[in-house]
Amino acid sequence: MDNANFLVVEDSPTMRQLISFSLKRFRNARILEAVDGVDALKKLSGPDRIDLILTDINMPVMDGLKLVSLVRQNAQLKNIPIIIITTEGAEEDRERGLALGANAYISKPIQSSHLIKTISELLAAV
Amino acid sequence: MTEERAEKFLELFNKGKEFTEELLRENQRLRYRLASLETEGTAGFNEEVQRLRSEVQQLTEENRRIAQRFKEVEEENKDFANRYIEVEEQNNNLANLYVASYQLHSTLDFREVIQIVQEIVINLIGAESFAILLLDEKTNELKAIASEGEDVMPGIESISTRLGDGILGSVAKTGESYYINQDLEDGGKVSLDKPLAAVPLKIKEHVIGLVVIYKLLQQKDSFSAVDYELFSLLAAHAATAIFSSKLYSQSERKLNTIQSFLDLLTTTS
């Protein structure tokens, strides 16, 4: 779990900073940020290895669900764990996100301890 | 001859008698020795039993003490675990507050500040429908300048009320926050003038506006204890950020006007 590279995909700078703040609990964590799905795909095709993606759903240009779907279709990226972090708390939203290939679904407002636990479990399972 | 034989017999008899007497004495001595040995043995055994009993008692007492200490340590351990969770939560709340205040004071652009306040109310407080009202000090009127969740609470974008009127007006006047829980205590419905929460945007005791919440996100049942504290602290930061950005945009406007005036004077002269 040390030296993990995270990609935080979120259009709100406040949320990006909040999530990044929580991720700093992981030793030597490297945090890359993207403002929407398209920006995230650019970062994913870059030279940096990404160990886990945390994405919002509602974003301009490309939403989080489309991003999850594209990542799962990509041979090089399909095994990266993805956590959806969103204000959409309905059960059908959760099911849709997980059906598209997300590994976990967390509703806002996020509890840092819950986020850390979920990430730890996903990284340990890889 | 007969006398001689009688003497020999007598002598033999006497020797036999002496021997028997000696045997009896030895027997007596041995019985006495046995009796004394038996007495000594019982006393030693009893002593050993007594010593062992005392040792068992001490060990039992020590065992009880250790069990008691173990219980105490276990309790302490539980307390530490609970305390750790509390500290974690506090840490989390402080981080939220730090990030929120950092973002709020990261810009002097009024619209940007309002946008950040909206993000905070959605993401940290967990509100689905809410409005930000600012007080016009000239007219003493509170007016919505931003809102979210108009579909849930129609008319939210155009809320307007006078200082002192209704719940919103009195929160702005007194500077005291207003909260009810998701399930209204009186069974009534949330309406534009009867929100779930109204928190004043205060700079010290000076109220500049309100954040009014009408509906929480589906996954959030009610306000938690920490929400009240967090909300008030965030409102204080939001108030100073809104006030500063408003002053800054006013001074920018004035500066532009003066600059234009100076340019005009320079050109005409």
Residue B152 lies in a domain: yes
Number of domains in chain A: 1
- The pLDDT, as a whole number, for residue B46 is 83
Q: Residue A38: count other Cβ atoms within 10 Å of its Cβ.
A: 17
Give the angle B146-A66-A58 at the CA atoms, nearest 5°.
Answer: 10
Per-residue pLDDT tens for B148-196? Answer: 998 888 999 989 999 989 999 999 999 999 988 655 555 568 888 889 9
Using a CB-CB cut-off of 8 Å, the residues of chain A touching B125 are 109
- The pLDDT, as a whole number, for residue B188 is 60
Per-residue pLDDT tens for A42-51? Answer: 999 989 899 9
CB within 8 Å: A107 and B119: no
Q: For residue A25, what is the DSSP state?
A: T
The closest of B206, B137, B203 to B174, measured between CA atoms, is B206
ipTM, 2 dp:
0.83
Number of domains in chain B: 1
Residue B130 lies in a domain: yes
Residue B210 lies in a domain: yes
Residue B184 lies in a domain: yes
- The pLDDT, as a whole number, for residue B41 is 75
Distances in whole angstroms, Cα of residue A12 to Cα of each of B21, B100, B130: 122, 12, 18
Residue B128 lies in a domain: yes
Using a CB-CB cut-off of 8 Å, the residues of chain B touching A111 are 92
Q: What's the domain range around A92? A: 5-125
- Chain A closest-CA separation from residue B112 CA (Å): 11
What CATH number is attached to the domain comprising B137? Answer: 3.30.450.40
- The pLDDT, as a whole number, for residue A84 is 95
Residue B161 lies in a domain: yes
Ranges under pLDDT 50 in chain B = none
Q: What's the domain range around B131? A: 105-255
Per-residue pLDDT tens for A15-39? Answer: 999 899 889 889 899 999 999 999 9
Asked whether the beta carbons of B103 and A17 are under 8 A apart, the reply is yes
Residue B96 lies in a domain: no
What CATH number is attached to the domain comprising A110? Answer: 3.40.50.2300
Using a CB-CB cut-off of 8 Å, the residues of chain B touching A23 are none
Question: Which residues of B fall below an 8 Å CB-CB distance to A?
Answer: 85, 88-89, 91-92, 95-96, 98-100, 102-103, 116, 119-120, 122-126, 128, 217-220
- The pLDDT, as a whole number, for residue A99 is 93
- The pLDDT, as a whole number, for residue B88 is 84
Chain B residue whose CA is closest to A24: B95
**Residue of A8, A10, A12, A14 to mutate, testing the B interface (most B Cβ within 10 Å of its Cβ):** A14
- The pLDDT, as a whole number, for residue A121 is 93
- The pLDDT, as a whole number, for residue B129 is 93
